[in-house]
Structure 1
Amino acid sequence: MSDSINIALRFALYLDLMLLFGLAAFGLYSLRGQERVSGVQLPFAPLLLITAALGGLLSLAAMACMAWAMSGVSAWAELWPHIEMMVVQTDVGLSWTLRMAALLLAGFAVTLNHRWPSASLGLVTLAGAVALATLAWAGHGAMDEGSRRNGHFITDFLHLWAAGGWVGALAAFALLLRQAEPALAVLARTLTGFETAGAVIVLVIGVTGVVNYLFIVGPSVEGLLDSTYGQLLALKLILFAAMLVFAALNRFHLSPLLEQARQSGEHGVAVKALRRSMVLEFCVAVIILGLVAWLGTLSPAME
């Protein structure tokens, strides 16, 4: 039961913090000027404030769950000293404190959106990047030592940020397409502009994914599929390939179709097709995050 709760909390934190970082980053690199004001194109203020607050609550729950699993006690009066010890005396606790501080900064930065939208989104992106990076201390990299540990952490950071950028962009496009009459000029421009960012994201995810595999498993794949870890990893790779297919469909077919439809004035079919594609791609991304949360609790050497 405790394993299921741990996986659920890890999954929720991955999704929440990736949305916090990715949505704010999308506003910076895709939108311009007053388009970054909450409500003009995207409801930044409520979305980012909710994700920052939810990230804090989930972090509190995750710390309590970890202390409960490690100590074996259930009464709050007995559990609290263990939580205090973990927060103050462990690397996981220090990373947790840093995450909470980053989430507080993000929540404050959101309140500045209407006065200074670019600065606000910049601060949220920075705070979200820090908060997202702290999840690496709950992964396999924390078990390494020395220079190997540092290299593993850097790879984890890059992997998390790239994945967060992709998840946030998918959510942003889904929200833009959800409007009854989406601003087609903005939508077409952001879709075209995401081509470069998307290519960089896919490249970083691919390279860091391979490096992470080498850190965790090593260069050999022999017997990997005999373990639960290997089977989940294989499923994750299949789903990632499916996301690449969706991304290629959007890039080479649906985005040009939208541009043609925008010029002809009949855009209903193109918008519906993009909506379906983005929703499906986002759903696949959510499933992958669930697998990542599960994989983080397993070791390839367990079986």
Structure 2
Amino acid sequence: MEDPLSIAVRFALYTDLMMLFGLALFGLYSLRGAERRSGAVLPFRPLLSATALIGLLLSVVSIVLMAKAMSGASEWLEAVPHAEMMVTQTELGTAWLIRMAALVGAAVTIAFNLRVPMASLLMVSLLGGVALATLAWTGHGAMDEGSRRFWHFSADILHLWSSGGWFGALVAFALMLRPNKVETLQSVQVLSRTLSGFERAGAVIVALIVLSGVVNYLFIVGPQVSGVVESTYGVLLLGKLALFGLMVGLASANRFVLSPAFERAVHRGEYARAARSIRYSMALELGAAVLVLGLIAWLGTLSPEMEAGM
């Protein structure tokens, strides 16, 4: 089994970069005008600044851990020269440098949110998307060559972006559904509008996740299921699919039952109870998403081919 610390760092990095990208993107397509200013609806500036800085720290730890594992070094300091060599002489190192530059740019750009909220969120979403895409170079696609490598990377990146879009939206709704945020009619109206508006975006996101996930499976395992479920990789993959199914079910309940009920309650001025129901559903969906990210981080360290041969 891969080092638990490496899996934990991968999980934290996936969660962090998806939040950076997805939350900024949510502010662009769901909020309007002054609502995009930090503090009006969501605390964009402190949250995205912290996320970018944490991403920088996690990226440093990640590259040293990879160098330590590849070199066989027993101490962290022994791995530093190997990490420097990886950064300067490998494609993975180039992707890492691009990620670091994108995260620095995001941290600087979000500082201007109060002055130019839309432009700052646009830049953070673009830079966050670049940083998130670099995680593909730590996955299975890096082992391919030629055109297969290109298409595998493309599917990986699309999967990362669509997953980040969903995760960021869940974080945004969790923040907007806090009890102290559903006390005024204005905040409740914004919440109702964004919940309704996310229906179309959510459907597109789910479709992209399914499409890119199927393509990734075909690249990694091939058009087969026999034998895969007997491996650790297969068990984790089944767990991921079960959690994804739960998330889709909860999202469907939100879309077709809870959101319409909340919208009707807002018109009647009785939104506290309806907000509570959506809050519980979103909490479950966000919890499932966190577990999925943990499984993704673990799956990225496993090879179904190697396990099949053991």
Range class of TM-score, shorter chain = over 0.9
1:222 Cα deviation from its structure 2 partner: 1.1
Structure 2: how far apart are the matches of 1:140 and 1:6? 16
Q: Which residue of 2 aligns with 1:25?
A: 25
1:299 Cα deviation from its structure 2 partner: 0.8
1:2 Cα deviation from its structure 2 partner: 6.3
Q: Deviations over 1:101-157 (max 9, x none)?
A: 000000011111000000000000000000000000000000000000000000011
Alignment of 1:177-192 (within 5 A): 177-182=177-182, 183-192=187-196
Structure 1: how far apart are the matches of 2:76 and 2:270? 61
Q: Deviations over 1:55-110 (max 9, x none)?
A: 00000000111111111224455322211100001111110000000000000111
Structure 1: how far apart are the matches of 2:250 and 2:59? 32
Match of 2:295 among 270, 279, 291: 291
Q: Which residue of 2 aligns with 1:93?
A: 93
Structure 1: how far apart are the matches of 2:250 and 2:83? 43
Is 1:172 equivalent to 2:172 in the alignment?
A: yes
Range 46-55 or range 180-189, more displaced: 180-189
Alignment of 1:47-66 (within 5 A): 47-66=47-66
Structure 2: how far apart are the matches of 1:259 and 1:2? 47
Which consecutive residues of structure 1, in runs of 5 or more, have no partner in the other structure?
Answer: none
1:197 Cα deviation from its structure 2 partner: 0.5
Structure 1: how far apart are the matches of 2:9 and 2:147? 30
The answer as to whether partners of 2:19 and 2:167 remain within 8 angstroms in 1 is yes
- The alignment covers a number of residue pairs equal to 303
Secondary structure of 2:304's counterpart equals: coil
1:224 Cα deviation from its structure 2 partner: 1.1
Q: Which residue of 2 aligns with 1:221?
A: 225
Match of 1:275 among 260, 276, 279: 279
Q: Cα gap change, 1:180/1:201 in structure 2, threshold over 3 Å: closer, same or farther?
A: same
Q: Which residue of 2 aligns with 1:234?
A: 238
Is 1:244 equivalent to 2:253 in the alignment?
A: no
Structure 2: how far apart are the matches of 1:249 and 1:258? 12
Structure 2: how far apart are the matches of 1:146 and 1:132? 23
Q: Which residue of 2 aligns with 1:44?
A: 44
Structure 2: how far apart are the matches of 1:68 and 1:224? 30
Q: Cα gap change, 1:246/1:301 in structure 2, threshold over 3 Å: closer, same or farther?
A: same
Q: Deviations over 1:160-215 (max 9, x none)?
A: 00000000000000100114242111001101110110000000000000000000
The residue type equivalent to 2:79 in the other structure is L
Q: Cα gap change, 1:67/1:116 in structure 2, threshold over 3 Å: closer, same or farther?
A: same
The residue type equivalent to 1:262 in the other structure is V
Structure 2: how far apart are the matches of 1:39 and 1:181? 11
Which consecutive residues of structure 2, in runs of 5 or more, have no partner in the other structure?
Answer: none
The answer as to whether partners of 1:102 and 1:127 remain within 8 angstroms in 2 is yes
Once the two structures are aligned, what percentage of the paired residues are identical? 61
The residue type equivalent to 2:238 in the other structure is A
Structure 1: how far apart are the matches of 2:249 and 2:73? 48
The answer as to whether partners of 1:170 and 1:282 remain within 8 angstroms in 2 is yes
Q: Deviations over 1:234-261 (max 9, x none)?
A: 1111110000000000000100110111
Q: Which residue of 2 aligns with 1:140?
A: 140
Structure 1: how far apart are the matches of 2:240 and 2:228? 14
